Every structure is written in C-alpha cells, then in structure tokens.
Structure 1
Amino acid sequence: MNKLKITRIKFTSYMKLYCIMSICFGMMIGFVGLIIGILGGPVSVSIGQSIYTGFVGGLLGLIVFPLLICVFGNLIGLVTYLPFRLFMKIKKGVFLNFEYEYDDIFEKSDNSIKLDESEADN
C-alpha cells in the first residue's frame, strides 16, 4: 500500500467520490431490502401510484435505492464540500492508503497531490 497526502481536492473530484460512495451505500441498502423481500419480510416500494411488495418490491428497491440515495448524496456533497476543504486546511491535508497503477498521474499533477514514499512503508 502507498500513502498519499491530499492537501486540496477539486469540487468535481469531491463530487465524483461522494457520488460513488452514495451509489455503493444505496446498493447495500437495496441488497438488504432484496434479501428481506425474498424471505417474505415487509418490503414495499412506491413508484407513483403503484406499490410493490415482497420479492418484486425488493428487486425494485435494488434499482430505486441507489438512484435515490445518489441524488440525496449529491445534495449532501454540495453542502459538505466547503466544510471538508476547511477541515483539510486546518489539518494540513489528509493521508490516504491506496493502490494505484502508475500512468504519469503524479508527473502531471500540481502541488495539490504529494506522493510520500517514505511513509508508504509504515
């Protein structure tokens, strides 16, 4: 694993990350609803005037929840971007552990991304 220190993040990059995390969270909730629907639990999904329950409701929830949570996640991302930048300014950056494929990404970058190889071994 390598360690990356992020001192600034562009708005578009922040929103991409927030959208991906929101979709994953929505899929997790959708899968739980699908499993509960398969087991005969009280799952219902309302689409317009139609109400679907049981397995069909769980299956539709697998589609509806990620989309719905992505929309609300993007709204939350809009509101939390400036506080996140303030937090990063106060903390002087955030360290992330990650794996990457080298594709000249660090040669083209400005000072907002600093690869710290010395701390990558820790």
Structure 2
Amino acid sequence: MKKIKIYFISFGSYIKLFIFLSAALGVFIGIISFLGSLVGAPVETHFLSMVYQGLPAGILSIVLAPFALGLTGILGGIVSYLPFKFLLRFINGLSIKGDFR
C-alpha cells in the first residue's frame, strides 16, 4: 500500500468520487431496507407514482437507493467542492493510503 497526500483534486475527479461514495451509501441503505423487509419491518419504497411495501419494497430499495443517492451525490459534490478545496489548503493536504496505479 502506498501513502499519498492530496493537495488538489480536480472538479471532475471530486464529483466522480462523491458520486461513488454516495452510491456506496445507497447500497448500504438498500441492504438495510431489504433486511428490514425480511424481518417484517414496515419498509416502503416510492417509485414514480407507485408505492411498494414489504419484501418488494426491500428488493426495489437495493436497486433504487444507490441510484437515488448517486444522483444526489452530483448535487452534493457540486455544493461541497469549494469548501473541500479550502479545507485541503487549510490542513495542508489530505493523506490517504491505498493501491494507486
């Protein structure tokens, strides 16, 4: 694993990262909804003008939550890009570890 320090990230790269992180959160929420529907929790999913409840809602949540949060991530990334750039300058970069190629 390599350690790198990010001093600047382009707008496009930041948006891609934010969408990916938002969609990953959507997968987590979709799985929690699905598990809730399996144990009988009152799970409800709205898709267009239709409302699904129970197990169909849980299954649909696995698909819709990542998509919806990914789209929300676009707006979140646009709004948070400038504050993130400021924060990177303020803390003199962000160190991260990973496999970078």
TM-score, normalised to structure 1's length?
A: 0.78
Shift of 1:49: 2.7
Aligned to 2:90: 90
**Going by fraction, where is helix more abundant, 1 or 2?**
2
Q: Distance in 2 between matches of 1:21 and 1:39?
A: 28
Percentage of matched positions with identical amino acids = 31
Aligned to 1:33: 33
Question: What residue ranges of structure 2 are gaps of 5+ in the alignment?
Answer: none
Aligned to 1:18: 18
The amino acid across from 1:44 in the alignment is E
Q: Distance in 2 between matches of 1:25 and 1:58?
A: 16
Q: Distance in 1 between matches of 2:54 and 2:36?
A: 8
Q: Distance in 1 between matches of 2:40 and 2:14?
A: 39
Shift of 1:100: 2.9
Q: Distance in 2 between matches of 1:19 and 1:86?
A: 20
Larger Rg: 1
Q: Distance in 2 between matches of 1:77 and 1:18?
A: 6
Aligned to 2:50: 50
C-alpha RMSD of the superposition: 1.1
Q: Which runs of 4+ in 1 moved over 2 A?
A: none
Q: Deviations over 1:56-83 (max 9, x none)?
A: 0000111111111111121111000001
Q: Deviations over 1:81-117 (max 9, x none)?
A: 001001111222111111234xxxxxxxxxxxxxxxx
For this pair of structures, how many residues does the alignment match?
101
TM-score, normalised to structure 2's length?
A: 0.93
